[in-house]
Each structure stands twice: as C-alpha cells, then as structure tokens.
Amino acid sequence: MKTKEKILAKALELFNQHGSEKVSTRHVADALGISVGNLYYHYKDKQALIEQLYEQLVTTLNGEFDTFEAADTGLTSLMHSVRFTFDTLHKYRFLMLDFVQIMRGSSGIKAHYQQLVQLRKEQFRFAVKLLIGQKMLSESIQEVPFDYLQMQFTIMGDFWISEAEILYQGAAADKIKYFTEAMLYWFYPYLTTAGKKVFHEVLPTLFEK
C-alpha cells in the first residue's frame, strides 16, 4: 500500500474511532509514524482527507447501484444491495455520525450530496417501478406520494448509524444486521404475496458467511 493510501486508511480508522472533529492531521501522521509535512505532501489538510473519503464512499455505492440498474434485477438483488449499502456506510460511519457538521464545513460536499439525493430519487423510482412490474410490490404503494416514500428511505439510510450509536448495544455485525433488516421490513407491507415469499426466502441468507 502506498503512503497516500495508508494515510487515507489511517484517517478513516481514526475518524471512525474518535470522530472527525477530535482527530487532527498530526494524529494521523503520528499514528503512521510519518511527519506532518509528509502527510501534507499528499493531502493539503484534514478537509482534503474527509473529502477524499466521502468520494470513496460515493464511488463504492454508485458502483453497486449502477450494477443494480444495469442487470436483470429483482427483489433478491435489491435486498442484497441494501445489505451491501449498510455494510459500506458502516465502514465510513464517521461521515454519517458527523453528517451535519461535515455538510456545514464543506460547501463542495454539501452541493454534491444535494445532487446525489436527486440521483438516488430516480434510482429509487426505478426500483419501485421495476418491482411493481415484476408483481413483487403492490400497486398500493403508489397511493403514498412518491417524494414522501423516498424521503423516508433517505432519512433512514442517512441516519440509522446515529440511532445505532446512541441506542444499540452489541457487536458491529449484529448492529448492521439489525438495521439492514429494519430497512428491508420498511418495504414489507407493500409486498405482494409473491414478494413476501421471496422476502422470507432471501432474508435468512443475507448474512450467511
């Protein structure tokens, strides 16, 4: 692993452990046994580290969502995508725990996130239409205004880690499993009989090793 990659990996580790507010570039450099000057050669400041980690997170999730849209997908693929998303968000959890603070501190990240929400809205719309067409979702879901459905989905996706940090006691793997299933059960009342059958077949397999 190159020095630049080591710096980013260590920053992620420390940000996750202590929060981005409490970790300085010197903390990162000291943890790696390098000089602050060496770190600044690769990243001009802490904000650059945060922005690069945010970009990594978005790129990883975009790859998953692009695959979902491009493939011959269905409810099974969607459930696996939700599990992958929650795993990935937990890997970069400081971004979610320090969400508002980071948005206030970076106009670039905030602007990108606002655009990203619009993209996710269209991806969510695609998934809903697809599953209705496959008779996995009931058309009754369309009785709820789409923007409200999508906003509920976004809020839970963005802030479940904060809820887990405060209230959930247990191992990280158990935490991810619990909140992934909570998100998936959000869909459950809207599933058709066929959709519920697939749901119950797939759910126990999501966390098999």
- What are the tens digits of pLDDT across the range 98-117? 999 999 999 999 999 999 99
Q: Check: CB of residue 89 under 8 Å from CB of residue 161.
A: yes
Mean pLDDT of 52-57: 97
The yes-or-no verdict on residue 68 having pLDDT over 70 is no
Could you tell me the CA-to-CA distances from 16 to 94, 116, 182 in Å, in that order?
5, 23, 23
Q: What's the CA gap between 148 and 205, in Å, rounded?
A: 30
Q: CB under 8 Å to 190, separation ≥6 — which residues? A: 137, 138, 140, 141
Could you tell me how many helices (H) and strands (E) the chain has, helices first? 11, 0
Query: For residue 63, what pLDDT band results from cuts at 50, 70 and 90?
Result: confident
| Helix, strand, coil distribution of the chain in percent, nearest 5 | 85, 0, 15
Tell me, what's the pLDDT at 40? 97
Query: For residue 69, what pLDDT band results from cuts at 50, 70 and 90?
Result: low
The yes-or-no verdict on residue 137 having pLDDT over 70 is yes
Mean pLDDT of 72-82: 88
Q: Which two tokens stand for residue 109?
A: 């990240």
Tell me, what's the pLDDT at 71? 57
- What are the tens digits of pLDDT across the range 139-164? 999 999 999 999 998 999 999 999 99
Domains by residue range for the chain, with CATH: 1-44 (1.10.10.60), 47-205 (1.10.357)
Tell me, what's the pLDDT at 208? 83
The yes-or-no verdict on residue 73 having pLDDT over 90 is no
Could you tell me the CA-to-CA distances from 160 to 1, 28, 70, 99, 155 in Å, in that order?
32, 27, 28, 12, 8
How does DSSP classify residue 33?
A: T
Q: Provide the residue type at 69 as one letter.
A: E
Tell me, what's the pLDDT at 29? 98
Query: For residue 1, what pLDDT band results from cuts at 50, 70 and 90?
Result: confident
- What are the tens digits of pLDDT across the range 160-180? 999 999 998 889 999 999 999
